[in-house]
Amino acid sequence: MSRMFVPGPVDVADEVLQAQAVPMLPHRSKEFETIFRRASEKSQGLFYTIYRVFLTASSGTGLQEAAIRNFVNRRVLSVVNGAFADRWYEVAMSNGKDAEKLSFDWDTPASPDRVAETVKNGGFGALTIVHNETSTGMENPVREIAEAVSAASPDTLIFVDAVSSLAGAKIEMDAWGLDMVLTSSQKCLALPPGLALGAVSDRAMKKAESVENRGWYFDILRMEKHRNKDSSPATPAMSLIYALDYQLDRIFAEGLENRFARHSAMAKRVQGWAEAHDLSMYAPEGFRSQTVTTIKNDRGFSVADLNAFLKQREMRIANGYGQLKDKTFRIAHMGETQLEDIEDLLSAMEEFLKK
């Protein structure tokens, strides 16, 4: 087994894997419904929300699509400064919405003022933004953007992709005034892939009532009806729910603040190491991800060779994503990863660089 320093799927603790290895129950049984409800209610803590958290048998992209299908009548603004933000724009377009892209250079955080200027009088029912761009290793200032958007266009709903940051960095859904925050199981939650979590505000739920063609599988009103009975319209990913229920207890036992501090200590260590080895970060200081560091390949080595070298030592990092392949590489420090693991990785990388 290689230690995974790739930004998902990440390593899953043995005991969490084992939590899945229990017999099936009928999903419409009191026994399972109790676990489903418990997992969903405990998840609210991760989002800092009093609102409902949906658990869907999909990856995070499913909930990107759900946000568009359920809460957008026509106009949506997609803030784009990375590959996953661009995907959300494409999801909106391919669902027939009138989507507009507000682009920033990929190494530039989205500007609250520019976003606010664009939404003002733009007739946008909603805005999509990625909190932590896994392609660039950059965090957008979502809190400041949400504040500016609420002032400029109070009725615009705010949807946030926190796929690679929720449970690794603090995102306060209610305090920041967000309408939907979504994440995937295989990143900072350190679960196997296949489950997505989405927290949704009351005003977004109300909006859904006026939206046509919400589809079936992700129809949020149908999902809510079932959620109120501690269930889901279709068969849930039961084994993953068992694992989530178990993992949430581990996460809260560590303490969210401690968990965030662990992630940011690892981020700092990786950034410091890179700088000391004449490698610069893709994202500007002050906006660097706490969960994945994207490093420019300033020394021009082969990322494939580096990974082959690391694999012999049972470790893996990730190449740059899409257009950043080979120009950058990425070190994830999320989920179960500890500072000691990062030290092992950096020593191996040091050996590679000396070769």
Ligand X SMILES: Cc1ncc(COP(=O)(O)O)c(C=O)c1O
User: Which positions touch ligand X (CB under 6 A)?
Assistant: 8, 59-61, 84, 130, 134, 161, 163-164, 184
SS3 label, residue 335: coil
Among residues 66 and 130, whose Cβ is nearest to ligand X? Answer: 130
Q: To the nearest whole angstrom, how small is the minimum distance from the Cβ of residue 4 to ligand X? A: 13
| Shortest reach from residue 195's CB to ligand X, in Å | 9
CB of 142 to ligand X, least distance (A): 12
* Residue 7 amino acid letter: P
| Closer CB to ligand X, 16 or 163, in the complex | 163
Distance CA(170)–CA(181), nearest Å, equals: 12
Q: Where are the alpha helices (DSSP H) in 72-153?
A: 83-94, 112-119, 142-152
Rounded Cα distance, 113 and 136, in Å: 22
* CB of residue 61 to ligand X, shortest distance in Å: 3
Shortest Å, Cβ 314 to ligand X: 23
Q: Residue 15 CB, nearest distance to ligand X (Å)?
A: 23
Residue in this structure with the two tokens 């796929």, named with its chain if needed:
163
Interatomic CA distance for residues 305 and 250, integer angstroms? 36
- Min dist. Cβ of residue 94 to ligand X (A): 15
The torsion angles phi and psi of 42, rounded to 5 degrees, stand at -65, -35
Residue 102 or 160: the one with the smaller Cβ distance to ligand X is 160
DSSP state of 131: S
Per the CB < 8 A criterion, the answer to whether 44 and 256 are in contact is: no
Cβ(86)–Cβ(117) below 8 Å: no
Residue closest to 4 by CA, chosen among 322, 303, 331, 300? 331
Between 165 and 297, CB nearer to ligand X: 165
User: Whose Cβ is closer to ligand X: residue 161's or residue 179's?
Assistant: 161
Cα separation, 184 vs 90, in Å, equals: 19
Nearest to ligand X of 56, 70 (CB atom): 56
* Residue 101 backbone phi and psi in degrees, to 5: -100, 130
For ligand X, the closer of residues 37 and 59 by Cβ is 59
Asked if 248 and 39 count as a contact pair (C-beta separation under 8 A), the reply is yes
